[in-house]
């Protein structure tokens, strides 16, 4: 949990008090909350405004509980996430554990069960995701040919990183408010009070043993031509995160680096001229995108 105040998005410590809006989108530590003025409007990430008196005081002591679900047939219990059961998509469908499902497989062969759930491949495509996937395929093909030369074999005999899926899962228009310190420093240069920006989240999935596994995530901010200087036509790669599950693992670095390269190639073709990358690694105990790294 990161503070939205003037402390520069510092992490709110465990068991510390903090303040939030009623929709719990923005958070303020006690120090930054004390610096807010009662009469000044507070701009939230979604563009709406609130006031200091409307902020709610909470304590950062929430511990998420593992959700359990019960098999309708044998009445055994399993972790909802381990069972790959999505209650939002299957709200009217009873859960059946894998053992009971296999027992009833003969009875259910007349039903096309594979179409009941949608995977990563069914997520909407866009020009950006298609462009990254095409560049990824070309880079991997080049790597396969190089491996084939080194091993004195054909490309068909080289183990490949297959079933890779790239999707843009978030595309939002936002307003980034300029902090008071920056406004005061550049007041004589007519510095804007906010910058319009589009934030995107790019994910890489791989279908491993029939399960879509999220391997890589990247959050980017795009300041378009309508954005005032000095941010006009600049992109900012804010967060990168990954886990070590790509198969085969020898292509992991190539795949992740190619996604970044293809993204930069795509935005350059759209008129962006500068890219900034946040290179500071997370502090110990912090995670940028993934909840944990198994």
* Preceding omega of 230 cis (within 30 degrees of 0): yes
Q: Looking at the predicted structure, is the pLDDT value of residue 142 above 70?
A: yes
Contact between 185 and 194 (Cβ < 8 Å): no
> Minimum mean pLDDT among 102-106, 146-150, 192-196: which range?
102-106
- What pLDDT does residue 10 have? 81
Model pTM above 0.85: no
Q: Once rounded to an integer, what is the mean pLDDT over residues 52-61? A: 89
Q: Is 257 exposed, middle or buried (0-12, 13-18, 19+ CB in 10 A)?
A: exposed
Residue 233 has which token pair? 């036509």
Q: Once rounded to an integer, what is the mean pLDDT over residues 177-195? A: 84
Q: Once rounded to an integer, what is the mean pLDDT over residues 227-239? A: 92
């Amino acid at each position: 949990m990161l503070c939205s105040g003037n402390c520069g998005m510092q992490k709110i410590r465990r068991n510390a008090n903090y303040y939030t809006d009623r929709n719990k989108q923005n958070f303020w530590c006690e120090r930054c909350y004390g610096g807010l003025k009662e009469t000044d409007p507070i701009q939230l990430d979604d563009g709406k405004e609130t006031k200091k008196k409307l902020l709610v005081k909470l304590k950062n002591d929430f511990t998420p509980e593992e959700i359990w679900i019960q098999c309708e047939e044998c009445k055994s219990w399993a972790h909802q996430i381990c069972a790959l059961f999505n209650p939002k998509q299957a709200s009217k469908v009873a859960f059946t554990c894998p053992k009971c499902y296999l027992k009833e497989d003969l009875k259910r062969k007349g039903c096309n069960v594979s179409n009941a759930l949608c995977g990563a491949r069914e997520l909407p495509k866009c020009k950006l995701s298609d462009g990254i996937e095409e560049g990824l395929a070309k880079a991997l093909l080049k790597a396969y040919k190089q491996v084939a030369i080194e091993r004195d074999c054909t490309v068909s005999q080289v183990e490949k990183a297959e079933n890779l899926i790239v999707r843009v899962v978030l595309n939002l228009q936002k307003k980034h408010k300029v902090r008071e310190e920056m406004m005061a420093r550049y007041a004589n240069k007519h510095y804007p009070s906010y910058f319009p920006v589009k934030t995107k989240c790019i994910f890489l999935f791989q279908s491993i043993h029939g399960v879509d596994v999220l391997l890589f995530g990247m959050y980017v901010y795009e300041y378009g031509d309508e954005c005032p200087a000095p941010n006009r036509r600049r992109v900012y790669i804010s967060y990168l995160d990954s886990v070590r599950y790509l198969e085969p693992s020898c292509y992991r670095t190539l795949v992740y680096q190619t996604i970044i390269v293809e993204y930069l190639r795509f935005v350059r073709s759209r008129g962006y001229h500068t890219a900034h990358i946040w290179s500071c690694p997370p502090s110990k105990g912090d995670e940028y995108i993934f909840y944990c790294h198994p």
